[in-house]
C-alpha cells in the first residue's frame, strides 16, 4: 500500500495511491489507521508533500556502502555510524533545495529511508522490521566543504531543505527484491547501486539506533548512499529513484 500526504484546497490530508487517484483517508494512518472517507481525488489536482514530518528526529547512517566510503577516502565502519538531521531539514517532492551561502559545494546522496511506525527502544534485529511503518526515498543533501572543515556533520547535513523525502510511503516494500537506488542530475545518472550492497542491513540499523535513541512513530532512518555522490548547483534538478518506491525530484536554487 502506498500512502501519500498531500494538500488539496486549503487542507493537508492523507490518501492511498490508486493509480491516478488518491483514496482519501480519515486521518494520519500512522495513528488513525486506514479508514477512508469515501472520497477520491485525482493526483493531478493535488500537491504531494513530504510523506512524513518526523516527530522528533531523523537518524542517518554514514558510510554504509563500502564503495561510497572508499570514494571519500574512508573505510566502512564496523558498526553503523549514526548522526542526526533536524526535522526542519525536511521538504517534499518538487520543493526547492536551497544552497546556503556558507557553502561552495552541495552534494546529493540518494538513500532508502525507513519510517518508524511505533515506539521503538532496544529492539533486537530479528524483531526490528515489526516496528517499521513503511519506506520512502530520501536525499541526504550535504554541504561537503563544511563537512570537511567542521570536523563533524551537524551543520553540513542539517540546513533547512537538506532532507527531501517522498514521494510516498510504501508499506509493503520488499527489502530483498533487488531494488536499486539511482540518482540523476538533469537527467544524467550519477549513482546506481543495489540496496543489497549495504554494509549494515535495515534490521541491524534499526536495532543499533534504538539502542541509543528511543524512536518515535514518524521518526525516519536514512540508510546510507551508494557510490557516485557529487555536487549539484543552482538551476539543477536532482532525481532519486528507488525500484518500487518511485522518483523523488527536487530543483535547486541559491539562497
Ordered per-residue pLDDT tens for the chain, 255 residues:
999 999 999 999 999 999 999 999 999 999 999 999 999 999 999 999 999 999 899 999 999 998 898 888 888 899 999 999 999 999 999 999 999 999 999 999 999 999 999 999 999 999 999 999 999 999 999 999 999 999 999 999 999 999 999 999 999 999 999 999 999 999 999 999 999 999 999 999 999 999 999 999 999 999 999 999 999 999 999 999 999 999 999 999 999
pLDDT in tens, 49-94: 999 999 899 999 999 998 898 888 888 899 999 999 999 999 999 9
Q: Where are the domains of the chain?
A: 2-48, 58-254
Q: What topology is assigned to 2-48 in CATH?
A: SH3 type barrels. (2.30.30)
Nearest CA to 167 among 249, 107, 87, 96? 249
Question: What is the model's pLDDT at position 73?
Answer: 87
Asked whether this chain's domains 2-48 and 58-254 adopt the same fold, the reply is: no
Q: Does the model's pTM come out above 0.85?
A: yes
Output the CA angle 90-112-254, nearest 5 degrees: 40
CATH 3.10.129.10 for domain 58-254: no
CA-CA distances (angstroms) from residue 82 to 41, 58, 129, 153?
A: 39, 10, 19, 10
Amino acid at each position: 500500500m502506498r500512502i501519500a500526504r498531500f494538500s488539496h484546497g486549503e487542507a493537508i490530508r492523507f490518501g492511498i495511491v490508486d493509480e491516478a487517484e488518491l483514496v482519501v483517508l480519515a486521518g494520519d494512518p500512522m495513528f488513525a489507521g486506514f479508514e477512508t472517507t469515501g472520497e477520491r481525488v485525482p493526483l493531478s489536482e493535488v500537491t504531494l508533500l513530504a510523506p512524513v514530518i518526523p516527530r522528533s528526529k531523523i537518524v542517518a547512517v554514514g558510510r554504509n556502502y563500502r564503495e561510497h566510503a572508499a570514494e571519500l577516502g574512508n573505510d566502512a565502519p564496523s558498526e553503523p555510524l549514526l548522526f542526526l538531521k533536524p526535522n526542519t531539514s525536511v521538504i517534499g517532492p518538487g520543493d526547492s533545495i536551497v544552497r546556503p551561502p556558507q557553502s561552495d559545494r552541495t552534494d546529493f546522496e540518494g538513500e532508502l529511508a525507513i519510517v518508524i511506525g511505533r515506539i521503538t527502544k532496544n529492539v533486537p534485529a530479528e524483531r526490528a522490521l515489526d516496528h517499521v511503518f513503511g519506506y520512502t526515498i530520501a536525499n541526504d543533501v550535504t554541504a561537503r566543504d563544511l563537512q570537511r572543515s567542521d570536523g563533524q556533520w551537524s551543520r553540513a547535513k542539517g540546513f533547512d531543505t537538506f532532507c527531501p523525502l517522498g514521494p510516498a510511503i510504501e508499506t509493503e516494500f520488499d527489502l530483498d527484491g533487488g531494488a536499486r537506488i539511482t540518482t540523476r542530475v538533469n537527467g544524467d545518472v550519477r549513482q546506481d547501486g543495489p540496496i543489497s550492497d549495504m554494509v549494515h542491513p535495515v534490521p541491524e540499523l534499526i536495532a543499533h539506533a534504538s539502542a541509543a535513541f528511543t524512536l518515535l512513530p514518524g521518526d525516519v532512518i536514512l540508510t546510507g548512499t551508494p557510490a557516485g555522490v557529487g555536487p549539484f548547483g543552482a538551476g539543477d534538478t536532482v532525481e532519486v529513484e528507488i525500484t518500487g518506491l518511485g522518483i523523488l525530484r527536487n530543483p535547486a536554487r541559491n539562497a
